[in-house]
Amino acid sequence: MTVLTKLMPPLSLLVFSSFLMCRFTLCEEKAPKIAIIGGGIGGASAAHYCRELFGKDTTIDLYEAEQVGGRLRTITIDGKKYDSGGTILHPRNFYMKNFTKMLELDTVDHKGGVLGIYDGKEFVFTGSKYSLVMLSKLLWRYGYDVIRLNFFIQDLLSKFSRIYDLQDQGMAFTSTSGLLKAMSPKFEEMTHISTKAALSEAGFSEKFIKELVGGALMSNYGQTTNVQGFVGSVSIAGAEPGLWSVEGGNNRVPEGLIKEAKVNLNMAVVTDITLTGKQYEVQYLNKDSSSPVKKAYDIVIIATPFHQDSKKVNFHGFPETPKTYQDFHRTVATYVRGVPNISKFGQQRLDDLPTAILVSNPNLIFNSIGLQRPVDKKYRNPDGTVDKSHPVYKVFSQEPLSDEQLGELFTTIDSKDVVDWMAYPHYKSSEKLLNFQLHDQMYYLNSIELAASCMETSAIGGRNVALLAYNRWFGIQGKIDNLPKTSGGKTEL
């Protein structure tokens, strides 16, 4: 063989790469047809990023069975609207923050609340609306754990923030564990150990874990410190100041994103997905029609979780049935307009009753009780706080509450509204995570919920599946599952 032929790439490779170029870039005349199933914040984020990546000529159809916003919606009580479902955002939820800004929506500052931790008999901890008083009270009860918590959260957030850089660089991940590992190998490990064990290993005291961490988990996820450590840690990040929500309701973000992305919104239930050659045939039922319709797509993004109560979508023609099932946890939200029974909580005056009541005992009839903020400015005090004269309290519980049970918690009940949610995964101490990629060009955004379910992770999942679809469509292999090198392999947290 001459040097020349050695230097030349083998013919087969040349043919192959020009085929690739033809298939994926140069001669690709038709843009892919994309279906997104689900119009919650996840599907809306996927729509936004698909439009950004694939450009204006790509067909994007978004199917929504009930209401755009999904688990983000508002409830109207006595003429005032309140967030129902996803309510509280963290200051470092950068996608939610950017979407809010891009859509020119205002934010609501969630300050001025008073935290209390109730054990069924009394408050083991009562905070203060003044941050310095609050801090000294925390230090008094939990000592160095308060400082440890601050380091823990800062470390968690700085690792979590890596996902924004990675996604800005176009990196995509086919599995949830891959996405977690890219932020920090420790994150993936934390999904295999209980929160209790993870935090105790990190040096936190039993009292701190039981009261503050347990209370936050019962309120955020209706579950105990036996849940895996990643979601448990995400849950305590809310102990930071600067919590916020969207003026007018958090659901305005998915509504705005879907409009902005100029997708075809189809109010319909998807019932079947069939693999037909290189395409996917999506079968759906329009809201106002009884005969099913079929449409073929190159890319399908499933943006809803499949759990014990979800609408069933049947898969046909796949070499193996895609793994999508997640066991979900029920949380009942009861909105009570009325006056709490202060003697039940061992208080003398209503003014002394904490506005956010967490529980350190997971066996009470309720998971948390919180004074609610109307989403409209005109119904809040100038400093953003809520008037206690016409209060609405949200009681979270595992089961619907009977009138007797509610009567114990409130002395006066002017009205009662109930929203019964299949809310988020029922987490295990060690989780078997699912994949984003179910087939060639079929993706499951909500696999991310088994790591941690919140608005921001759904937004991140939405960008991940959009990037994954894009990278695969154009054969950008280097930006798929390309884990960043760890520095020396040593990770704290």
Ligand X SMILES: *[C@@H]1O[C@H](CO)[C@@H](O)[C@H](O)[C@H]1NC(C)=O
Query: What is the contact surface with ligand FAD in residues (CB under 6 A)?
Result: 37-43, 63-66, 70-72, 85-88, 269-270, 303-304, 310-311, 313, 331, 333, 421, 423-424, 446, 453-455, 458
Going along 168-213, which residue ranges are E strands? none
Q: Which does 223 bind (CB under 5 to 8 A by kind): ligand FAD, ligand X, none?
A: none
CB of 408 to ligand X, least distance (A): 5
CB of 422 to ligand FAD, least distance (A): 8
Which one of residues 59, 271, 274, 411 is an interface residue with ligand X (CB under 6 A)? 411
Using the minimum distance from each CB to ligand X, give the nearer residue, 29 or 168: 168
Please state the closest distance from residue 366 (CB atom) to ligand FAD, in A.
Answer: 13
3-state helix, strand, coil in the chain (%, to 5): 35, 25, 40
Which of the listed partners (ligand FAD, ligand X, none) does 85 bind, with a CB threshold of 5 to 8 Å by partner kind? ligand FAD
Query: Interface residues for ligand X in 261-290 (CB under 6 A)?
Result: none
Distance (Å) of CA 227 to CA 160, 199, 433, 450: 19, 12, 14, 11
> Least distance in Å: CB of 226 to ligand X?
29
Q: Give Cα 276 distance to the centre of its chain.
A: 32
| CB nearer to ligand X: pick between 98 and 321 | 98
Contact set for ligand X, span 162-191 (CB under 6 A): 164
Dihedral, 194, 196, 201, 202 alpha carbons, nearest 10? 110
- Tell me the C-alpha distance between 133 and 139, whole Å: 10
Cβ atoms of residues 51 and 60 within 8 Å: yes
CB of 345 to ligand X, least distance (A): 8
Place of tokens 């039940």: 344
Helix (H) or strand (E) holding 197: helix 195-201
- Rounded CA gap, 97 and 238, in Å? 16
Site for ligand X in 79-138 (CB under 6 A): 94-95, 98
State the helix-helix crossing angle for 145-160 and 229-236, rounded to 10 degrees.
110
Least distance CB 250 / ligand FAD (angstroms):
8
Size of the site for ligand X (CB under 6 A): 10
Pick 84 or 347: Cβ nearer ligand FAD: 84
Cβ–Cβ under 8 Å, residues 182 and 167: no
Count other Cβ atoms within 10 Å, centred on residue 493.
Answer: 16
Interaction residues for ligand X, span 319-378 (CB under 6 A): 341, 343-344
C-beta of residue 321 within 8 angstroms of C-beta of residue 418: no
Give the residue with the Cβ less far from ligand FAD, 227 or 455. Answer: 455
Output 275 or 342, the one with its CB closest to ligand X: 342
Name the segment binding ligand X (CB under 6 A); options: 24-32, 116-124, 396-404, 407-415. 407-415
CB of 311 to ligand FAD, least distance (A): 4
Closer Cβ to ligand X, 187 or 297, answer by number = 187
| Residue 37 interface partner, choices ligand FAD, ligand X, none, CB cut-off 5-8 Å depending on type | ligand FAD
Binder of residue 171, out of ligand X, ligand FAD, none (CB less than 5 to 8 A by kind): none
In the complex, the smallest distance separating the C-beta of residue 341 from ligand X, rounded to whole angstroms, is 4
Least distance to ligand FAD from the beta carbon of 279, Å?
Answer: 19
In the bound state with ligand X, the residue whose beta carbon lies nearer, of 175 and 411, is: 411
Q: Which helix (H) or strand (E) holds 280?
A: strand 279-286
Q: Is 379 in the site for ligand X (CB under 6 A)?
A: no
Return the sign of the alpha-carbon dihedral for residues 382, 388, 390, 393: positive
Angle at 91 between CA 206 and CA 210, to 5 degrees: 10
The SS3 of residue 271 is: strand
- String of DSSP letters for 36-67: EE--BHHHHHHHHHHHHHH-TTSEEEEEESS-
Residue with tokens 């919104």: 265
245-251-252-256 Cα dihedral, nearest 10 degrees: 130
Nearer to ligand FAD, 204 or 370 (CB): 370
Of 23, 407, 477, 478, the one binding ligand X (CB under 6 A) is: 407
Give 222 or 462: the residue with its C-beta nearer to ligand X. 462
* 124: CB partners within 8 A, 6+ apart: 117, 118, 141, 211, 360
Q: What is the C-alpha separation between 10 and 13, in angstroms, rounded?
A: 5
Nearer to ligand FAD, 347 or 458 (CB): 458
Binds 408, which of ligand FAD, ligand X, none (CB < 5 to 8 A, cut-off by type)? ligand X
Q: Output 32 or 370, the one with its CB closest to ligand FAD.
A: 370
Q: Which stretch binds ligand X (CB under 6 A): 205-213, 397-405, 406-414, 453-461?
A: 406-414
Among 221, 224, 196, which Cα is nearest to 209's?
196
User: What is the footprint of ligand X within residues 145-164 (CB under 6 A)?
Assistant: 164
Q: Among residues 361 and 411, whose Cβ is nearest to ligand X?
A: 411
**Rule CB under 6 A: which residues touch ligand X?**
94-95, 98, 164, 341, 343-344, 407-408, 411
